[in-house]
Structure 1
Amino acid sequence: MDNARLADGLHEHTAGFAAAVENADPATMVPTCPEWPLRTLTGHIGQAHRWAASIVRDGPSPVPDPFDADPGAPEKWSAWLREGAEELEAAVRAAGDTPVWTFFGPQPARFWLRRMLHDTVVHHADAALTTSRAFTVAPDVAADAISEWLEVLSDPTTATLNPAFAELRGTGQTLLLNPDDADPGWHITRSPDGVRWTRATKPADVTLTGPVQNLLLVFSRRRPAQSVAVTGDEALAAHWLAHTAA
């Protein structure tokens, strides 16, 4: 996905998030983000976009606490969220190919555009599930979100950020995410050194099959595994999902 597509997706899902929380009670708890009310979820989105923009412009800064974010009055949430997404896109455009700080070492500024897009996609789903609004994500965005999350999980740095991710190491167990509306799938191996993966559709110990949107929602633990077809070692799939809570 090029920068223009990433930016389009960011704006689309920021707007979708804003629509999902419109007229909702800010104190409503978000089932898929335990302990977060909608106000905190909204604050996190705008805060994260601005934080990523500041990294691109000025370098690293401490990860902000979502409970410190102030999205303002609910009737102003949409504009506030839109401004944060626009700020991030502008920062990335200005940075061009200049490497910037990331958790995984210097990378092009587009890293943060992509990371924030997919964080927004998943939290858009959180908001929609909370307020019973419709949620859709384009297949190319959903597919890239799965790939991006696997890139994060397979980086050795990730286990140092969240010890639960170290439990994804294994002795060769394999999982396949098999989309029935895209090609190919994602073949994942739990190796002693960590997670390894490739875009391929081939036999695995457990296979999850369904639309790529559903696979993303299951993979990100926004929908139960029963939302897709699971064949093979169901305990292996359950273990994976239990240890990938971000």
Structure 2
Amino acid sequence: MDRIQSLELDLDRLVTGLQEVTSAFAGTVAGLDPQATVPTCPEWRVRDLVGHIGQAYRWSAGLVRSRAAAPPPDPRDAEPGGPQEWTTWLRDSAADLVAAITDAGPETDVWTFVGEQPARFWLRRMLADSAVHLADAAITAGRPFTISPDLAADTISEGLGLISTAGAAGLKPELGELRGHGQTLQLRPTDVEPGWLITREADGVTWERRTADADVVVESPVRDLLLVFSRRTTPDDPRLTISGDQALVDHWWDHTSF
């Protein structure tokens, strides 16, 4: 498959971003009932969500060290310990991933589900995954979702990079429904620049980081764009301003998943 598009954040920011999001996640789940259901991932309990984060860090660290494929583990098999141990376990898991990438070299090719990529792929992937699950934790806790705008923006770009990768529909067949005939969607954040111009082409999705006119424009702070992009809120969320062809946004939302 194609190489994923170049980084928008440098390696140091990806590392500090992972630490930042991991700490925010740990703080958000502190005090929650481990058996409580996560509304945005109803098949998981809070303990499963915590287990997934730390387990995914350690699993991806193992992929970097072995440079070979390994099946994704079941979050229910993770052993994060009791709630009082979660913060330490999560931070240690993040440190394990950073150490694996540092030792291997961030530009060393390793296995990924989209073909060989530099080891730093897993740092960015885990940061993006944790950013979305931070939203899950905040929704579960009934707290506002907060994230640095640069991390929210890079999570959107990382997701678009995966969606637009050649063969993406082979991994998630519903993405094949995003093919089109030049229809354009503009994600326009009010607090960072530029936005994202997404085009539905006959052979898949393409995108650029630029602000432009489009068939439909979705405007809000980047945090809220991330929520709708990751399906943690719906297109009718009043925090979003949508102008143009609403059906394009609804179609996109219906055929993406994270």
Q: Paired residue for 2:243?
A: 231
What is the CA distance between 1:46 and its match in structure 2? 0.6
Unmatched tracts of structure 2, length 5 or more: 1-8
Bigger proportion of residues as helix? 1
Name which of 154, 173, 178 aligns with 2:183: 173
Are 2:242 and 1:242 equivalent residues in the alignment? Answer: no
* More deviation, 64-73/113-122: 64-73
- Asked if 1:207 is matched to 2:217, the reply is yes
C-alpha distance in 1 between matches for 2:215 and 2:75 = 38
* 1:133 is aligned to 2:147: no
Tell me, in whole angstroms, the C-alpha distance in 2 between the residues paired with 1:198 and 1:106: 23
Give the deviation of 1:157 after TM superposition. 2.4
**Matching of residues 32-51 of structure 1 within 5 Å:** 32-51=40-59
Separation of aligned partners in 1, 2:72 and 2:31: 29
What is the CA distance between 1:133 and its match in structure 2?
2.6
CA RMSD of aligned residues (A): 1.1
Q: For 1:134 and 1:86, how far apart are their aligned partners in 2?
A: 27
Question: Does 1:28 pair with 2:40?
Answer: no
Residue of structure 1 equivalent to 2:76: 67
Tell me the residue number matched to 2:23: 15
Helix, strand or coil at the partner of 1:62: coil
Q: How many residues align?
A: 246
Moved more, 222-231 or 195-204: 222-231
After TM superposition, the score normalised by the length of structure 2 is 0.92
For 2:138 and 2:190, the matched residues in 1 are separated by 24
SS of 1:36's partner is strand
Give per-residue Cα distances to partners, 1:170-224, cap 9 Å, x unaligned: 1211100011111111000111100011111111111100111111111111122
Tell me the CA shift for residue 48 of structure 1: 0.4
Amino acid paired to 1:53: A
SS state at 2:227 partner = helix
Q: Give, in angstroms, the shift of residue 54 of structure 1.
A: 0.3
Structure 1 distance, partners of 2:101, 2:167, is 24
Structure 1: any 5+ residue segments left out of the alignment? Answer: none
Q: In structure 1, the residue corresponding to 2:144 is in which secondary structure?
A: coil
Q: Distance in 2 between matches of 1:90 and 1:41?
A: 23
Which residue, 101, 122, 131 being the options, matches 1:121?
A: 131
